[in-house]
Amino acid sequence: MPRWRIPLRAPVVLASAGLLLAGCANPSTGSADDDPTKPVTITFWHGWSAPGEVKAINDSIARFEKLHPNIRVRATGNVSDATVNQALRAGGDEAPDVVSSFTTNNVGQYCDSGMWVDLDPFMKKTGLKKDEVFPRSLLNYTSYQGNQCALPLLADAFGMYYNKDAFKEAGIARPPKTMSEFVADSKKLTEKSGNSYKRVGFMPNFRLYQNSPDRLFAQWGPTYFDKSGKSRLAKEPASYEFFKTARKLVDAQGGYDALEKFRTSFGDEMSNQNAFLSGKLAMHLDGEWRGLMLDDAKAKFDWGVAPLPVPDDQAETYGRGYLTGTVAGIAHSSKHQNAAWELVRFLTADTDQVVKFANAIHNVPSTYAALKSPKLDADPTFRTFLDIAKNKYSQVLPPSTNGGMYIVQLQDFSYSEEAGDVPDLKKGLKRLDRLIDADTLQSKN
């Protein structure tokens, strides 16, 4: 359950680190001439830190070392992207060989800077056909301008958790499939308590937990950049429909000020005071990991999972969702790149390994074969997220050389827009495009 621990605004720091990466010369050059059958020790830096996660990754390494007894893996966990970037810039023997990241937003920087090596030559050399192994959507967020510098290492899919008891009380037979149903059901499920609320149907505020605007925006299937790499949010019809729907959700449930005041009463996302767990939300956007947490907390109501609703004029896309995930690659400074590739290939493409790891940390598998495996967790709520991951309309964020900065800028704009501080949406989106383009240009210089 890795990604939920990352603050939504984390890309600010990472993007700044990425600007340093993109502008520096490679301090040292690794080697792909090593013999992976010879005894060697390689280092693997990753971000997992919870005891169950660390056990799962250590078990994975033990399985790898059993298959490759000549390769010893020295793993270091709880490592941030900023730390990895600093080590790769410095180079030397202390830099890692294999690296992983929870931040798919930064893949454009990893590839463009050359700090993570292109994996296509390794795949060609060992016969791994990536288009037959990995879903296209996941390959899209692990490459940049033709450079496949990373591969997916499990994925996250976002859907909607809903309180079945609340739905039954409100006389609603099933979760909403379209945005118009979403607005109507949210209003019907909202219960006032004096000047505040007992419960809201769906909290649309973008500062809530996992409600980063890009995640709901994905239901429209927007195009963020044109072919030349310039931001086109002001030219994207979906932008206007998205913010219009968000406004309808707010107005249907009492207005921004009242909802924002209620939101500030919510407990911590990862505690037993989580607003959905405590019954203050009837519907909630979240990832596949939330199901385990609801079970562990012994939720006092019957709950279910469904895909998020889609625009009324895109009903055929229902089942789609927002996808992200962990990525893995090889450091440019590694002098054991062939041995490092053996570990990357095992962690990302070995079906049995991917399934075991997915079951252990309750994340979505990232290969076609693993997604179809009968050994996967049979929990029907988890299966819903597998279906979202397999849906051809599900969307990932496009990589950018400025990392996740454009998403941070979208967040800031969305906070202002929902609070009523953007008097002209078109002008506001044009200004947002200019800001994104300026940062992209700066990152290239």
- Report all structural domains of the chain as residue ranges with CATH numbers, in order of start: 3-156+323-390 (3.40.190.10), 158-317 (3.40.190.10)
- Report the relative pairing of strands 40-45 and 71-76 from DSSP bridges: parallel
In the block, tokens 């390769």 appear at 71
Strands (DSSP E) along 166-313, which ranges?
Answer: 191-193, 196-202, 281-287, 303-306
Map tokens 């023997």 to a residue. 93
Write the burial class of residue 124 (CB in 10 Å: 0-12 exposed, 13-18 middle, 19+ buried).
exposed
| Count helices and strands in the chain by DSSP H and E runs | 19, 9
pTM score: 0.85
Can you list the residues of the chain whose pLDDT is less than 70?
Answer: 1-28, 443-445
Sign of torsion, CA 4 182 294 322?
negative
pLDDT of residue 231: 96
**pLDDT per position as a tens digit, 172-184:** 999 999 999 999 9
Q: What pLDDT, on a 0 to 100 scale, did the predictor assign at position 445? A: 62
Helix axes 425-444, 237-252, angle to 10 degrees: 120
- Pick from 12, 117, 107, 14: which is nearest to 396 by CA? 107
Give the SS3 label for residue 248.
helix
How many CB atoms within 10 Å of residue 22? 21
C-alpha 6: how far from its chain's center? 10
Please state the φ and ψ torsions of residue 416, each to the nearest 5 degrees.
-70, -40
CB 340 within 8 A of CB 97: yes
In this prediction, residue 238 carries a pLDDT of 98
**Whole-number Å distance between alpha carbons of 36 and 39:** 8
- Tokens 């252990």 locate to 360
The structure tokens listed for 264 are: 């500030």
